[in-house]
Amino acid sequence: MSEADSTRASADRHVLLAHGKAARMTAGTGDTLVIHEIYRSIQGETSFAGLPCTLVRLSACNLRCRWCDTPQAFTGGTRTPRSEVVARALSLGTQIVLVTGGEPLLQAGALPLMTELCDAGRTVMLETSGERDISGVDARVHRIVDMKAPGSGESARNRYENLALLGARDQVKFVLADRLDYEWARELIVREQLQTKAGEVLLSPVHGELPPKELVTWMLEDALPARMQLQLHKYIWDPAAQGV
């Protein structure tokens, strides 16, 4: 077992102990999923920002990012037949469907769910923490893969093997709390030449912590090949609003 695998296994044990209820809740065959909410809004981030989008938010997460803005999805949710999840998502009528969480890849049903949404002709996006293996995701899905910077408190959980799996339809996202986070992301982007591996490299300032202007200044000084993004929904609605 490599050092990274050992660190991850140790962290997994910690999370399973601390959040055993959530882990049991999401276990299953894949015929059902624990759903936090399904609703229609606009896509708030990525190169799809501003477009109408149906969000399928799955319950539970095995990480605890310090600045997480969806802690309400850590627990609870309703176990729902996958066929019903697909029907509800399609009924909202948007071309884009985002499967998000929590961490969607904790649930066995997430992979067939995305395939069925693709089969139905939808443009499907997955937002994942970067801790889970993304290799089983349908090749038609746009995978938005987070890389957790030190300020999240979860950077030891990054699965660097995922970087080699990225393709032109995928996007790598960094949420940055401060200069230290920025320098960590810059080093990874330059070392791995992430702009050549993924379709987009996204930098997001933590809302209310890192002023966007500072991030833009740093990116321009370094000529960093990345896209700065703001979470549109936090400007359209109250930043604390849920289900928007």
Q: Are 207 and 239 in contact (CB under 8 A)?
A: yes
DSSP element (H, E) containing 188: helix 179-192
Q: Does residue 28 come out as left (phi exceeding 0), alpha (psi in the -120 to 50 range) or beta? A: left
At its nearest, how many Å lie between ligand SF4 and the CB of residue 223?
29
Nearer to ligand SF4, 65 or 215 (CB): 65
Choose among 157, 128, 159, 155: nearest CA to 13: 157
Site residues for ligand SF4, 81-140, by CB under 6 A, read: 101-103, 129
Q: Considering the rule CB under 6 A, would residue 46 count as an interface residue with ligand SF4?
A: no
Instruction: Please state whether beta strands 123-128 and 52-58 pair in parallel, antiparallel, or not at all (unpaired).
Output: unpaired
Q: Considering the rule CB under 6 A, would residue 64 count as an interface residue with ligand SF4?
A: yes
CA-to-CA distance for 168 and 218, rounded, in angstroms? 26
**What is the 3 state secondary structure string of 1-46?**
CCHHHHHHHHHHHHHHHHCHHHHHHHCCCCCEEEEEEEEEEECCCC
At its nearest, how many Å lie between ligand SF4 and the CB of residue 170?
17
Q: Which window, 64-72, 107-115, 191-199, 213-221, contacts ligand SF4 (CB under 6 A)?
A: 64-72
Total residues found in the chain within this entry: 244
Site residues for ligand SF4, 168-227, by CB under 6 A, read: none
Q: Which window, 9-17, 56-64, 80-88, 221-229, contacts ligand SF4 (CB under 6 A)?
A: 56-64
Site residues for ligand SF4, 65-84, by CB under 6 A, read: 65, 68, 70
At its nearest, how many Å lie between ligand SF4 and the CB of residue 87?
25
* Contact residues: ligand SF4, CB under 6 A: 61, 63-65, 68, 70, 101-103, 129
